[in-house]
A and B are shown apart, each in its own frame.
Chain A
Amino acid sequence: MQKHQYEVVVVGAGGAGLTAALYASRSASTAVISKLYPTRSHTGAAQGGIGAALGNTEEDHPEWHAFDTVKGSDYLGDQDAIDFMAAEAVDAVYELEHMGLPFSRNPDGTIAQRPFGGHTNNDTGLPVRRACYAADRTGHMILQTLYQQSIKNKVKFFDEFYVLDLLIKDGKTAGVVAMELANGEMHIFQAKTVIIATGGHGRVWETTSNAYSYTGDGLALTLRKGIPAEDMEFYQFHPTGIYRMGILITEGVRGEGGVLINGEGDRFMETYAPTVKDLASRDVISRAMYLEMKAGRGINGKGFINLDVTPEVVNHYAEIDGRKNPDGSPYRVTASDILSKLPDIIDFCETYIGVNPVSEPMPVQPTAHYAMGGIPTNKYGEVVIDEKNTVLPGMYAAGEVACVSVHGANRLGTNALLDLIVFGKYSGIKAAEYANSEPYVDLPPNPEAYAMEQLNAIQESSGKENMITLASEMKSVMSEHVGVFRVEEGMAQAVDKVREIKERFKDVRVDDHGKKYNMNLIEAWELSNLIDIAEVTAVSALARKESRGAHSRDDFPDRDDEKWLKHTLAWMENGGVRLGYKPVTMTKYKPKARSY
């Protein structure tokens, strides 16, 4: 067993982790531990853009961005944190540009921006160009740029190390336990601060845009240490995943003028969101798609809708909508515009489904995409562990794994990348400040004991249960009952089923008993993370008797601010889940009916 000592340990090397490390390493000894090589992180799969009110081609203001985010969150977002994020957004984007990020450009040389769902001119209610983009590879460019700067700044990486436990002693952060995948060796990292930046958990569901690696690792670690998870019932289903595969088709397609068309050839979003139509927020569109399909208006009556970005269709609807370019001329596109703005989307469609989006529509369905909920933090990334927002000293979380909450009940497109940069930055700065003023906490005796106990339990199980079977039963019940639409009975069934799977997991079969790159063992561990998270999600969802944002119940179809304008907190305790609630932070935005 090896021992290491760093003032700041960052767990995860995507957009949030790398940003945190870049800032923390300026004034504190910092190490990044990641189960993947950093550039494999899921940030790289983000496509459409990062939101910031630069106003490069039309009027825009951070205040408008903040209001749109509050409204998008269905008023569950904490308004102090949202104001902060929207105000920080502009500098965050300039900072990325100064790091060399190759944004697409306007003719005047400024950063190019496109419209995105839910982002509006607050005077007219119409879509505003706020998403700063690099073709449809914005996440890739962010991830590469941050990694490049990490190399330049000599950030210390432990690549392909898998964190198995958080060390907390006397209520303070003491470090982490990790396994080196290459040889199975255990490492103890003593740390003054730990920044958890491990991303989301879309692999709980069947059809997802998320990587295999998105298994909620950091969130499961905190749950097992008695830290609650916040707002887990709010999980985003992105409207446009490739049919059956779930691969993301960016909202940028609709930003460029693409429209959703049902089996009767209708652009149905006109009915559901008369003002912004196909650029309504994601929860609204995913629900509309399900309703269309349920009414038999899927394409050929099947479980998909067409997303059409062929120039004829784009131009047809642009004319109907009276859409204009920034200079006031009518908005029209050509095939080569589509090619240059959406090259990866075209590549994915050609590779996986043999469809060329320049000449044919894309078959799409909602796909499990993003966790609004996660580890509770304040706007500085400090982890808070109860109804009173008590800080756990030295523990930070940022990015998708965290719940600040800036996304509330529904995240707007482009706000995820922004969240990574803004809260990655502040958690890095705050962690380094803390490290500069506080001593190391002594490690607990046998720091690796809890991790080893869990590993041994998996290795020594009876082996009766196949991992794939357990995973697929979990995904199936979660997709059916804790998906876009929910009812009491179904969610109760999901809770029972997930608990049964959790019990059966104790007999999970692992074939590989070696040390070296034992990916079989890691996958079993990842599945145990997903099962815990599925349980917490289903229990949190079952309890919330209203519809808000992504949590949509047939049996409680309305938002109920009187009873439910509050955050859920869920603790894993005594083999079950205990729920609590805390108030939403309000500043100047009073809840009102939400329409697009």
Chain B
Amino acid sequence: MQVTLKIFRYNPEDDRKKHYDTFTLEAEPTDRVLDLLERIKGNQDGTLAFRRACAHGVCGSDAVRINGVNRLACKVLVQDLKTRQVVIEPILGLPVEKDLIVDMEPFFDHYRSVMPYFVNDDPPPPKERLQSPEERERFDDTTKCILCAACTTSCPSFWVNGSYVGPCAIVNAHRFIFDSRDQAAAERLEILNEQFGVYRCHTIFNCTDACPRDIQVTQAIGEIKKALAKGSLD
């Protein structure tokens, strides 16, 4: 079948303003949107710039807006689109560098701000620290995050104010806060209790819809809010 891709273009090195280019190509229903981008780049316009690596939804490189919603280009098939007219744009809320490539630094700055790493200052035992399957299950959902930014850049609160840490950073704080082996939950909760922390979330659920790993993002944020309100993790 024939599909038409209308792709956002911007290159600060040339004189043209931000615009859209339209490409028409043959596609199979089982083609990934990323396959189409690759074919356009290979056969029609080598200047098209976008990020990609694994091409099967685990590296988090290719989050873009497809027909208005955040998706990984490698995880949407042509047959999933329900239309042959496809609009592809960079994710919102981060400065566009070129075409579909945005500046990820503000996003990673927020991520780094929540202590997204394991803290346990006790001397480790000779073998593994023990953790029951139930304790492990408690934070399983948020270990799945691939830092693609689909959630944060789908959030209207983040669009309004880029100082908001955003759902991705909160998800990554959650992954450690609810890990029975970790000792820095209180510090992370304090960070998230601040002006641009969890209370910027207005439970709009865009993030949960956008997450390509099916993480229950809004629920994780809710659990953090609850922990702050109760002053405990139970």
Contacts and interface: CB of A to CB of B under 8 A. Distances in A.
Interface string B117-149: 111100010111111110110011001111100
A166 B200 CA distance: 48
Interface range for B: 35 or more
Given A40-B61, A98-B124, A213-B53, A182 B116 contact: no
B228 interface: no
A322 interface: no
Interface in A72-108: 93-94, 97-100, 102-108
Interface string A36-52: 11011110110000000
Contacts of B116: 148, 151
Interface string A249-283: 00000000000000000000000000000000000
Interface stretch (A307-315, A404-412, A445-453, A504-512): A504-512
A36 B42 contact: no
Contact of A511 (B14, B47, B56): B47
B2 interface: no
Given A352-B56, A520-B47, A102 B179 contact: yes
Nearest to B132: A109
A462 interface: no
B169 to A, nearest CB: 12
Interface in B139-165: 139-140, 143-147
B60 A39 contact: yes
A324 interface: no
Contacts of A344: 58
Interface residues of A, number: 61
Nearest to A244: B30
A519 B130 contact: no
A584 interface: no
A211 interface: yes
Given A39-B59, A105-B136, A509-B46, A516 B144 contact: no
Contact of A516 (B41, B55, B97): B97
A182 B105 CA distance: 12
Contact of A517 (B43, B49, B130): B49
A353 B131 CA distance: 36
B41 A515 contact: no
A57 interface: no
Interface of B: 11-14, 30, 32, 41-43, 45-47, 49-61, 75, 77, 97-99, 101, 104, 108, 112, 115-120, 124, 126-133, 135-136, 139-140, 143-147, 176, 179, 181-182, 214
25 contacts: A40-B53, A40-B59, A44-B59, A45-B56, A98-B128, A102-B136, A102-B139, A103-B136, A104-B133, A105-B133, A105-B136, A137-B143, A140-B144, A151-B117, A152-B117, A182-B97, A352-B77, A353-B30, A511-B47, A512-B49, A514-B14, A516-B97, A518-B49, A519-B49, A519-B50
Closest 10 CB pairs of A and B: A100-B118, A511-B46, A109-B130, A468-B42, A148-B117, A152-B117, A98-B124, A512-B47, A97-B128, A520-B46
